[in-house]
Amino acid sequence: MTRAAAPPPASVRGELVELWRARALLWAFVWNDLRSRYVGSSIGFFWAVMNPIFELVTFTFVFHTLIGIKFHPSGNTTHYVLFLFCAMLAWSGFADGITRATTSIRDRAHLLRKINFPPIVLPAHVVLSAMVNQLFRLLILLFGMIILGDGITWHVLLLPPFIVLLACFTLGIGLLLATMNVYFRDMSHWVEAGLRIGMFVTPVFYPASAYPREFVLLLYPNPMAQFVGIFQALLLNHQMPFFNSMLWAALSAVAALLVGASVFAHNRRQFADLV
């Protein structure tokens, strides 16, 4: 069957409504994606636990043991591990989501020729899969906070809305990049390079207080810097994040979702012919 799906919704609202209506299909894709990642390997879903631990050990050894970076002047290795893991919790979900969302349309191009198949499911399901995968990391972090840190407080209950905002921000950027990748085949390479730079520009491996004053304009407008700070404030500092950080994170998520969904909706008619 070569005929493309129905014409795209005329508005961002229509695009998001279509995603909601296809939520059963979306979750089926998420489950299949998670299964394809882990099922068949020697330890299965346990890799969702082992991978972040391997990353944490590596980054802690390089940045804390060798370079001597600390989140607090009196902080020890345990203190650094928890703060680094918390920052990675936010960054890894974002990076994994947009990396895979960028190529999602081309990776499943044959589905676009199915009548009434909603294209937005393709980037949305990999973003949601990345966020679900991050829940494993969150469980590890909470366990580590109880065993090695100061425990958990009621502030952890405020985290879910910001996880949703991070998912919306990631989806918005992912929809935009997925559309661009249809027209520019090397977009995925630019995304990988951008993420590599962004990971070091964002205070993941070092505290935000260590940011040089002359480069502070790279810090405050960076939505991911705000998300990292919010996660650390709620989970590790047991305090409310700065109001400006919460506001900027929320505005960035809404703006990214609106722009990404708009660009995606107005270009999806051409997807089946271009991929």
Q: What is the CA radius of gyration of the chain?
A: 20
Cβ atoms of 84 and 59 within 8 Å: the answer is yes
Query: Whole-model pTM?
Result: 0.87
Q: Structural domain boundaries of the chain? A: 12-274
How many Å separate Cα 211 from the centre of its chain? 23
Cβ atoms of 81 and 60 within 8 Å: the answer is yes
End-to-end CA distance of the chain: 15
Rounded to whole angstroms, the Cα distance separating 166 from 91 reads 10
Long-range contacts of 252-257 (CB under 8 A, 24+ apart): 252/169, 252/223, 252/226, 253/165, 253/166, 253/168, 253/169, 253/172, 253/223, 254/168, 255/172, 256/168, 256/169, 256/171, 256/172, 256/173, 256/176, 256/223, 257/168, 257/169, 257/171, 257/172, 257/175
Rounded to whole angstroms, the Cα distance separating 254 from 168 reads 7
Rounded to whole angstroms, the Cα distance separating 250 from 165 reads 6
Per residue of the chain (275 residues), what is the pLDDT tens digit? 444 444 555 578 888 888 899 899 999 999 998 888 766 555 555 656 667 677 767 767 766 666 666 666 556 677 778 888 888 889 989 999 999 999 999 988 888 877 788 899 999 999 999 998 888 888 888 888 888 777 888 999 999 999 999 999 999 999 999 999 999 888 989 999 999 999 889 988 888 888 888 888 888 899 999 999 999 999 988 899 999 999 999 999 999 999 999 999 988 888 877 76
Per-residue DSSP letter, 149: S
How many Å separate Cα 261 from the centre of its chain? 17
